[in-house]
Chain A
Amino acid sequence: MDFSITDEQELLLESLEEWIEGCGFDQRYFDEHWEKAQFPAEYYKALFESPFGKVGLPEEYGGTELDFLTMVLLDEKFAELGRPSLTTTMLNIEDIMMFGSEEQKKAIADKVEEGRLPFALGFTEPQAGSDSNGYACTATRKNGKVYINGHKSFITNASDTDLMLTMTRDFSVEPPVNAMSLWMVPLNAPGVKIEPMHKIGQRMLSMCEVYLDNVEIEESDLVGEEGKGFFMLMKNFEIERVLIAATALGGAKRAYNEAVNYANERIQFGKPIGQFQLIQRMIVEMTAKIKACEAFLYATAWKYDQKESIRIDSALVKYFVTRLANEIADDCVQIMGGIGYTEDSISAKVWRDLRTARIGGGTDEILIHAASRPILKEFAKNKR
């Protein structure tokens, strides 16, 4: 069993640190955008132009193909350094490269080249998140065109990109898992209304309600095979869940770095608070949690690279890592004390931003549901 990181991975992470240090966007830039709940467009444009913007995009589309483990390491490092990551783009690229037509692949590669967010993921609806039976958005054919109707909820980046990969349902097909299709819907088309929501964290990325009223699209906007949308969604989740875990772990590490330094510096009763056993216990537990998360996360990404199924592992790793990351951030706020509850504290920002990691991409509860059934089934088949 080889747990070492390669020279190339280490150098790439060093390169990323060097880029972030010299890219010209400082903490104040991000704090201002966070405050105004504004997408950091200039930063993303620079990032897409950097050697990191096209990671995951195959070489024939002008990108740099990377193994999934290296992408996970990069995504985690972005979060550890406190900078918006490439999760969305990596996920978009994976989705389109897996299921898209040649034309769609090229269009997405061009958008990345131009420094624009490829697309938003339009899956969730008011009555359908984890419950796929609830999808109500439809695609109707008329006079050689396709018309999309429905309401999508909690859609990340919808106000900052011009396309949405939209899940629709054909009510004439049963069961519902065979009735789902994915369409690339332009968000600047007539009939689209976007309403951003106010979030308590992750404020630089918008979260929107998207209303689709007879939005006209082309037959060629179908992504993948008609009726296979649910299976494509499941594939998307495998990648998304691992990437969410990676950014959550990176964020937790960022808070941890601040809190452990603070424990060494903050003097109370004549000595650094890190000398007190109650603080030491938190530090030891956080350290062990980080190491456990790293091991599970990297092993899952490695497994994906070996072409093994991560259907269950992706659910387990997101459940495990995002919960522990939240616990770590909470302990960091506790160690930081009063200052940990102010806008000046990194731990506070991480704590606030991390909460959504246990919700988006599958709640803790749905992950338990997704992972427990196959585990029990496996035991029923082969008693151990």
Chain B
Amino acid sequence: MKIVACYKLVPEDRDINVNSDLTLDLSKATWKVGDYDLTAIEMAMRIGEAQEGAEVVLLTYGGDVVTDQKLKKGVYARGPQMGYAVRDNEAFCSDSFGTARVLAAAIDKIGDVDLVVCGEGSGDIYSQQVAPILATLMKRPVVNAVKEASAEGGQLTVKRDLEDAVEVATLPLPAVVSTTSEACKPRIPGMKDILAAGKKEQVVWEIGEVLSDQSALRKEVVNTLSPAQKERARTIFEGIDSLDSFVDALRKVM
């Protein structure tokens, strides 16, 4: 059984500065693996470890940062045997559909993939769309918001938390799933895992090697703006008699 766990490298939130025109300044941002994706990797590992001979591999798509050695060691130390990276200097121009297209092409190139596990959403845009689009492009069944999963006899059994029930579903493999953010706690790598991660293979494909026509990937990003911050009004309404004026004031700002 071959399982692909997908991850995206995203800018560290606390390093993002907002410029005076509300655009985002990422120039000082360090990069990290999206937190939701670490959960997906852990779920892939748990499914894989329960299957004798299963192989868990990683897949990412992004700019030059995909080959950053420290980031690579950090994520490969979470357990997978090896991984693939698709490098594209214009990856930031790709939306969820574009990303799903690249991943679908890469998974096809990897070959014989039984299961793809994605995180709840990316750590930056968080559109939660890549997994379902990917499954549609690959013509495979998909379930999102999975909190537990196990594979047996060519089938995947998943559990999902609904509002007042737990849904148990089975889907035939090959399939695509995305996890909930709290599905499982990512394992913490120790020194042995970190040292071993440095030796694990990462196959790097340039975007052209995966997808010959990239025109559909390129979107023009008009702007990405931070919501305008407003100073607190610090208006205090005292006593029950001021209730009406309090409601009026709320209405004015809403």
Residues of A within 8 A of B (CB): 7-8, 10-12, 14-15, 18-19, 22, 50-52, 55, 64, 66, 70
Contacts and interface: CB of A to CB of B under 8 A. Distances in A.
B200 interface: no
Contact of B73 (A7, A51, A70): A7
Contact of A8 (B185, B188, B194): B194
B131 to A, nearest CB: 25
B193 interface: yes
A8 B190 contact: no
A52 B73 contact: no
Mostly, the A contact residues are helix
B8 to A, nearest CB: 18
Which 3 pairs, one residue from A and one from B, show the smallest C-beta to C-beta distance? A51-B190, A7-B70, A64-B191
Nearest to A10: B70
Given A8-B198, A11-B77, A51 B191 contact: yes
A19 B193 CA distance: 15
A11 B188 contact: no
B73 A11 contact: yes
A70 B69 CA distance: 19
B190 A52 contact: yes
Given A10-B70, A70-B191, 17 more contacts: A7-B73, A8-B73, A8-B191, A8-B194, A8-B195, A11-B73, A12-B191, A12-B194, A15-B190, A19-B188, A22-B185, A22-B188, A51-B188, A51-B189, A52-B190, A64-B191, A64-B192
Interface residues of B, number: 15
Contacts of B185: 22
B172 interface: no
Contact of B188 (A10, A50, A64): A50
Contacts, number: 43
B192 A11 contact: no
B195 A51 contact: no
B239 to A, nearest CB: 30
B74 interface: yes
Contacts of A7: 69-70, 73, 198
A239 to B, nearest CB: 19
B160 to A, nearest CB: 24
A11 B74 CA distance: 6
A180 to B, nearest CB: 35
Interface string B186-226: 00111111110010000000000000000000000000000
A51 B187 CA distance: 10
A70 B194 CA distance: 13
Given A7-B69, A8-B198, A22-B185, A14 B74 contact: yes
Contacts of B189: 11, 15, 51
A14 B188 CA distance: 10
A22 B190 CA distance: 15
A12 B185 CA distance: 18
Interface string B49-75: 000000000000000000001100110
A159 to B, nearest CB: 30
Contacts of A66: 191
Nearest to B72: A7
